[in-house]
């Protein structure tokens, strides 16, 4: 069975501070994928990143960076120089490959991030 | 036009009512999903349709009835719901790997339908 744990329910930081959102996962699959999605107040989940289990290189995209560590089963997400527009609920998700080819995502409970101006 | 459109955005219904949620995707995808988002719980996958056939039904009560008439439209028919069914219902779409498409694993979500059952 797959499981994703986001232990931080809510985080508040002052604008321009850096913030890290934690994600720990469990899976028996040898091949799997990890995702982060952002859910702004409008409701729709917005895809941020997908990493496969064979690629442990950290990734940076602008102010966003991701730290994937297989040894600790973690896929943490850091926002540097946070901005008010970063306020949202962030979901970490995990998938294997289902038998028909589509990837079925297991989501964490989400972390609500509030950036204080 | 947004990629995935859901209507209505808000719905209030009594336990004896029958209503439907609608989802339409304009992305040319061939797989569509219904997720339920309740407070302080992980998103729950309810149904998956691939190439208009239901391929996943995660032990969802029969008071929820999905319908996928074509690859662009997905409905969730609701009847005799319970107050605990109140939640945000999210529709998503993706390109099915089995069809040979290139799938980044990305699901494209709609903004959701906020359902309140009285």
CA distance A18 to A98: 36
Task: Look at A16-25, A65-74, A93-102, B34-43 and tell me which has the smallest mean pLDDT.
Answer: A93-102
- pLDDT tens track for A50-89: 888 888 888 888 999 999 999 999 999 999 999 999 999 9
Contact B106 A50 (CB under 8 A): yes
- pLDDT tens track for B18-77: 999 999 999 998 889 999 999 878 888 899 888 777 777 778 999 999 999 999 999 999
CA distance B19 to A113: 34
Torsion sign (Cα): B59, B65, B69, B71: negative
Listing DSSP states for chain B in one string gives --SEEEE-SEEEE-TT-EEEEEEEE-S--SEEEEEEE-TTS--EEEEEEETTEEEEE-S--TTEEEEEEETTEEEEEEES--GGG-EEEEEEEE--GGGT----S--EE---EEEEE-
Q: Which residues of A touch B (CB under 8 A)?
A: 4, 9, 33, 35, 37, 42-47, 50, 91, 95, 97-98, 100-110
Q: Count CB pairs under 8 A between chains A and B.
A: 72
> Best interface-test mutation with A: which of B34, B42, B109 has the largest number of A CBs within 10 A?
B42
Place of tokens 């102010």: A63
Chain B: give the shortest CA distance to residue A32, in Å: 11
Contact A104 B48 (CB under 8 A): yes
Chain A residues lying within 8 Å of B31, measured CB to CB: 102
CA distance B97 to B94: 9
* Eight-class DSSP state of A109: -
CB burial class (10 A; 0-12, 13-18, 19+) of residue A66? Answer: buried
Contact A103 B97 (CB under 8 A): yes
Chain A residues lying within 8 Å of B94, measured CB to CB: 102-103
């Amino acid at each position: 069975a797959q499981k994703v744990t986001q232990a931080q329910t809510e985080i508040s930081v002052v604008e321009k501070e850096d913030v890290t959102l934690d994600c720990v996962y469990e899976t028996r699959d040898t091949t799997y994928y990890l995702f982060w999605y952002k859910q702004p107040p409008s409701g729709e989940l917005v895809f941020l990143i997908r990493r496969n289990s064979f690629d442990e290189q950290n990734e940076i995209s602008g102010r966003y960076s991701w730290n994937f560590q297989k040894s600790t089963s973690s896929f943490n997400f850091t926002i540097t120089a946070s901005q008010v527009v970063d306020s949202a609920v962030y979901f970490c998700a995990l998938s294997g490959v289902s038998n028909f080819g589509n990837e079925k995502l297991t989501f964490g409970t989400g972390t609500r991030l509030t950036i204080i101006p | 036009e947004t990629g995935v459109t859901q209507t209505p955005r808000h719905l209030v219904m009594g336990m004896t009512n029958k209503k439907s949620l609608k989802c339409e995707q304009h992305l040319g995808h061939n797989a569509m999903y219904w997720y339920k988002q309740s407070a302080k719980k992980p998103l729950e996958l309810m149904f998956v349709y691939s190439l208009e056939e239901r391929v996943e039904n995660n032990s969802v009560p029969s008071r929820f009835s999905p319908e996928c008439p074509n690859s662009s439209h997905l409905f969730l028919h609701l009847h005799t719901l319970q107050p605990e069914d109140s939640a945000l219902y999210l529709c998503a779409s993706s390109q099915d790997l089995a069809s040979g498409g290139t799938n980044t694993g990305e699901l494209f979500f709609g903004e959701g339908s906020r359902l309140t059952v009285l």
